[in-house]
A and B are shown apart, each in its own frame.
Chain A
Amino acid sequence: MVGDDEMSIVLRRHIPVIIVTIIGIFLFFTYPIDNPVVIGTAGILGNWAMILASFALGIGAINMIVIHGRRVSEMRKGLWEPSLALLITMAAVLLLGLATSVKSDEYTLVYDTLVGAGRLTLVSLRGFFMFSAFYRAYRARALDGTVMLIVSILLMMYNVPIAELFFPQLNVFTQWLLDVLFVGGERGLRIIGGIGMIIITFRILTTADRSWMGREE
């Protein structure tokens, strides 16, 4: 007889690992194998992924309600007011969307006035702090800091474009920096990231890494 605990471990740990390993290996081979059945099956799996992602959105919403609902019910100091505002706004926008549609003028107005304006305000405020931080933090304390300072100034002059209007030769140098040094660095990072991803995928497929399942109990 298999005990409840052992069955639970099979359900929670072994079955997900088996599913992920089989599907992962299958999807890996859909790239080199040009077969309509294989590609079709991969498409079905892709659709399942979209359905799962939609569920993830729902779970995220529920999680948010639970976390902020707890803050409100426990009246946590300094936290319950914004949490209550969040829950009310969330419910109002949801009800409005269900009652009208995402195309309705009312829904668009809410998005324009709340999300659009709010986001722009945050970005604008950040601009002030960045302006101040650039002036205060960029100091030529050491060689690497000095190089970073010079490159930052050159890039600002390129982007605006002060260099092209007043110092055209400087712009040639900045263009070289962008085309050669930046691209070289970016490519190096991308290759390192790709190799890292291959290693992680291999570890997941061979069950050497099971951290994606959360904590082991």
Chain B
Amino acid sequence: MNEIQTNGGQTLAEKILSRAGGLERVVPGQIVEGQVDLAMMHEQGAQTVAPFHEMGAPRVWDPERVVIAIDHWVPASTEGAAVLHRILRQFAREQGLTHFYDVGNHGICHQILAEHGWVVPGDLAVGTDSHTNMLGAMGAVAAGIGPTEMAAVLSLGRLWLKVPPTLHVRIHGSFGKGVYAKDLILRILGEVKTTGATYKAVEFSGPTIEALSMSERFTLCNMTSEMGAKCGMIAPDATTYTFLEKIAKHPMHPVAPDKDAHYERVIDIDVDEMTPMVACPYSPDNVRPLAELVAKHVKVDQVFLGSCTNARIDDLREGARIMKGQKVAPGVRFIVSPASTSIYKQALDEGLIEVFTEAGGVFTNSSCSACFGGNMGILAPGEVCASSSNRNFPGRMGAKDAEIYLLSPAATVAAAIRGELADPREFL
């Protein structure tokens, strides 16, 4: 299972797309018809149903390769959302799609794929969400697509892909106290910018990456979406195989990049001296050292610890470690939303929910929550939010002029306690 195939001079993305396309090798720019290993839909999949029927395929190509995980409005918070859920439930029944993570067994779609082993090394995975990139941490090509494209995938089991050139990001050194994978991906975004990896694959490697947990790897790959990347990925290693050992849903086809692979661009980053980072309004690439903003005393109205980027159990543990015995600053709304129901249960067992609620925060049901401005935790005009999520474009969390600062989970909790942007290292 752990044997790595090599066939000379290819990046991780090129190797995976060669296999998906049934080809010996591929080169950037080449169009391949890729066989899909896993297709995932959330509520946007409701818009897949009509085009699927219109296309005329009698059945979904392979119900064992399709996952539906509702997450944006769970349980349904509006009649519109209830209708989307009903469309998906009916479609699942009609097509025999049994891998449906419905209310009570739900979580953010990418987290569901991760914790149930739906994406494994070597896979080509697609999902109707832009943060599908997160699953590239399994050593897979995982990319976001729209719902009409998903209808074609459900009909045919394949889609066309242009083989992307690869941006290689090599990371050296160790994180200091109060510095996390989130700070690293923000630091990279500050350099690569929101268009720096458009249409490209981003491959992370180096000693720092090898030492990261799967959760931290998910955080990194997740925000390659914000660089415009088709996919973000990390070659599988012992950490990956251990994570998937008991949960992998289908056979692995692990590949590693060749030593002489051609990369379009190579970036080397040393994290030894790195300090906590922040992405300021209104773009995830508007990145500054957090200390600069702390000096400006940026007051916050709301703090959000959640999203597919940073709401796993280690994120909640680190947040609770800082919050324990402290109080949320007067006038601040502190919202914690775990990434899945199983993380919710774990947080309950470990006493983390008690820590957050005793401090004056609200611990919500698992969902995308405040991240996308369409369900709860919405910002009024002029309000400021410190958030562990991934986007801070105008209007992302509600009002057009509301301001969102993107931070590590630890830094969001520091802001909740202080009532303004604060350095998490002061609390550790």
Q: Do A and B come from one complex?
A: no
Give chain B's interface residues, CB within 8 Å of chain A: none
